[in-house]
Structure 1
Amino acid sequence: MNQTTVNPWLGRLYRDRNTQFLFLQILGWFSLSLISFFSLTLWYNQQSFAYISHTLLQSVLGVAVSWPLRSVFHYLWNKPLLSRLLLTVLSVLACSIIWSALRIGAFLWMTTETDVWADFGGWLFGSIMIFLCWAAFYHGIKYYQLLQSEHEALLHFAAENKEEQLKRSRAETFAQEAQLKMLRYQLNPHFLFNTLNAISALVVSRSSANANTMIMQLSNFLRYSLENDPIKRVTLEEEVRALRLYLDIEKTRFADRLELEFDVDPAAHEIKIPSLLLQPLVENAIKYAIAPAEKGGKISVFSKLDGEHLVIEVKDTGAGIEGDHHSMVSGPGIGLKNTVDRLSAFYGDNYVFELRGPNASGMTIYIRLPLEKQTAESNAELVLGG
């Protein structure tokens, strides 16, 4: 695997503020030497070694004189604005005077010039302009670095916040997965115990053929139940097929006492719903409407599309039970309560689950599910399912 290598000095220049300051000091002051050489030394035809050396020396002196300004400005950084501005101007003026005096002294020492101090004001004015530019560049770079630091801090905070949101989302996803699986595992034993009791009754009554048929039907239903993840959705067509597997068992148990009716809109066949959603509802109807009635009764399953929603109704002809969406906790049996909990886990508050009745024609369970969430929730299933 190829790795990009960076020059160590360049890496240090990028990371180390002290190295940056040294580099900019040398670059800035010796750039001034070049400007002085082309604008003064050549202009006045002073190309001798002494004049050129003085041009270089004044930059070295500029580095030395301006170096303490960094500490001064660092000290003044958190001072009140007026005090900071005043002390900055005084520092610039002091450094300009010192640098001008050193430049003139070195110029007199290195050249044959004698009448230079009389022009001290001109030298000082140029020095003040240069040190004002130095101070402006320093503060500009300082503010830029501060802005960069704040930007990096914001990016770091945003990255940490995003990571925290991802962790929270994963935790919520795993919690929802555990909740759904727990609800599903509560349903399976509930149904299984009822069916085994029915098989036991058939064995006791020596109805071995019916008992054997029911065992095979139970095997088919359990195979389907165990092969389907409770987190995933299945199409309405698959759900109805699974419901028929369950009802095959109950038909063996109740024979002519159980009458069934299905009216499923073909346009709704491919709509996905939580797996084994209908089985506990029909099981509840059998337990409280069909089993207690001497002549049995009828269970009807209707489904249709209603705009952007899927409507499902499970009806029975029994006496029914009293209750509504908010009384499932203390209602009869675990099936209805778990169905409501599963719908809440899948759809939040964006669904309808109602018990309508009882009346002369029996009880109706009414479910209304949104279609617009199918795509988004299918993506959620991919996360839940890994």
Structure 2
Amino acid sequence: MQWKTILEDRNRFFWVLQGAGWSGYALVHYIGSLMHEMRDIYALVLILGAYAGFLLTVPLRYMYRRIWDSPPWSLILIVLAASYAMAALWAVVDNATYWEIYKFGFRPESNWFYFKNTIAKFYIMLSWSGLYFGIKYYQMLQDEKQKALMATSMAHQAQLKMLRYQLNPHFLFNTLNAISTLILVKENELANRMMSKLSLFLRFSLDNEPIKKIPLAREIDALMLYLDIEKVRFDERLNVTIDCSKESESALVPSLFLQPLIENSIKYAIARLEQGGEIIVSAKRFGSDLLIRVEDNGPGAKIPVDQMIDSGGVGLANTRDRLQALYGKNYSFTVTNNEPHGLRIDIRIPFEQVETA
């Protein structure tokens, strides 16, 4: 039986602790008796005493369950009264086994001995009650902590899904608008090709959870599907170069996080150049990090670069927010002017790979 299974099953955990605790009680008292000259039958007295304590504390468990939500002072008074009542019963059983079995019917002359024994048992019962409430409160705190972690995780996942799905309407609007334009100018063949590419791209999007990471090689495949759509519009005006090291292709990255960056470059660079332009996507490993660069040879930014992310449309801010949600502070996302002209986006994230068995 695994300890994890025992800890997760609260009822089983109680009985394991109950048995171990009272067995330990009997063992400690037996070891203490070895220091004195006690007959062997004293071991039976100890076992019967521990067994009586085991049985009498079981009703306490069910009583404490019923009064769990009582006001604090009422709870304390009930615990004290219940502990003393069980201690008195335990003392009666303990005295009976001691005087009938060990002393063979001998009785002490004063009742003071019985009272002292009851008080001693009361302290033990009170300690048992304290342990019970302590363990229960600890389990409640763990449950609340687990719920808080689950709620945080669900909120985190919802945020990531929102950020990913925020791009779909933006991308779909642009693509469907382009298809509509092709139909209006009677370019039905091109419109059909573009619709087919769009279908493949959306299928890829649906097959990959927004909260999961995928290998960079698959991300590049998705990017090429998107570029196939854009090449229907721009034809030879759009040139794309992919330069990813072999090692970087297996690195895990957020799904479809390159597409909005490329879309941003097409919108603000390629579309504004009569002769078209070039977009370069490169990736390599550097120590424990993955470095990704997206650059173009467009006209560059017309506003200060440090304001580009928040004013550069959905793509840049969305990608930054997704990276922050996934990696916390362990990432960088910078936008700078490219040389001799154009824009460059540098991304640094932890280098992660799929764990293989």
User: Is the pair's TM-score, using the shorter chain for normalization, greater than 0.5?
Assistant: yes
Deviations 1:331-371, CA, capped at 9 Å, x for gaps: 12111111111111111111111101155231111110112
Deviations 1:296-353, CA, capped at 9 Å, x for gaps: 2100000001110111100011122346677633x12111111111111111111111
Q: 1:11 aligns with which of 55, 60, 65?
A: 55
| CA–CA distance in structure 1, aligned partners of residues 228 and 282 of structure 2 | 18
Matched, 1:275 2:255: yes
Structure 2 unaligned spans of 5+ = 1-11, 20-50, 61-81
CA contact (8 A) 1:236 1:273 kept: yes
Structure 1 unaligned spans of 5+ = 38-54, 70-133, 379-386
1:85 corresponds to: none
Aligned-residue Cα RMSD (Å) equals: 3.2
| CA–CA distance in structure 2, aligned partners of residues 347 and 287 of structure 1 | 28
1:381 corresponds to: none
Bigger Cα displacement from structure 2, 180-189 vs 319-328: 319-328
Matched, 1:21 2:88: yes
| CA–CA distance in structure 2, aligned partners of residues 298 and 34 of structure 1 | 98
CA contact (8 A) 1:316 1:362 kept: yes
| CA–CA distance in structure 2, aligned partners of residues 155 and 349 of structure 1 | 37
2:110 corresponds to: 62
| CA–CA distance in structure 2, aligned partners of residues 336 and 140 of structure 1 | 72
> Alpha carbons of 1:30 and 1:299: their partners in 2 closer, same or farther (altered >3 Å)?
closer
Matched, 1:343 2:323: yes
> Alpha carbons of 1:160 and 1:195: their partners in 2 closer, same or farther (altered >3 Å)?
same
- Correspondence list, 1:264-303, <5 A: 264-303=244-283
> Alpha carbons of 1:367 and 1:35: their partners in 2 closer, same or farther (altered >3 Å)?
closer
> Alpha carbons of 1:320 and 1:22: their partners in 2 closer, same or farther (altered >3 Å)?
same
| CA–CA distance in structure 1, aligned partners of residues 139 and 281 of structure 2 | 50
> Alpha carbons of 1:372 and 1:299: their partners in 2 closer, same or farther (altered >3 Å)?
closer
Q: 2:234 aligns with which of 246, 250, 254?
A: 254
Whichever residue aligns with residue 232 of structure 1, its letter is K
% identity of equivalent residues: 39
Matched, 1:353 2:325: no
1:328 corresponds to: 309
| CA–CA distance in structure 1, aligned partners of residues 119 and 268 of structure 2 | 83
CA contact (8 A) 1:289 1:297 kept: yes
CA contact (8 A) 1:13 1:19 kept: yes
> Alpha carbons of 1:62 and 1:277: their partners in 2 closer, same or farther (altered >3 Å)?
same
| CA–CA distance in structure 1, aligned partners of residues 287 and 251 of structure 2 | 13
Pick the structure with greater CA Rg: 1
Matched, 1:193 2:237: no
1:223 corresponds to: 203
Bigger Cα displacement from structure 2, 179-188 vs 296-305: 179-188
CA contact (8 A) 1:319 1:358 kept: no
**SS state of the match for residue 269, structure 1?**
helix
What is the TM-score of this pair, normalised by structure 1? 0.66
1:97 corresponds to: none
1:124 corresponds to: none
1:111 corresponds to: none
CA contact (8 A) 1:285 1:299 kept: yes
| CA–CA distance in structure 2, aligned partners of residues 146 and 20 of structure 1 | 9
Structure 1 residue 248: Cα displacement: 0.5
2:153 corresponds to: 173
> Alpha carbons of 1:325 and 1:234: their partners in 2 closer, same or farther (altered >3 Å)?
farther
What is the TM-score of this pair, normalised by structure 2? 0.71
Structure 1 residue 150: Cα displacement: 3.1
CA contact (8 A) 1:325 1:340 kept: no
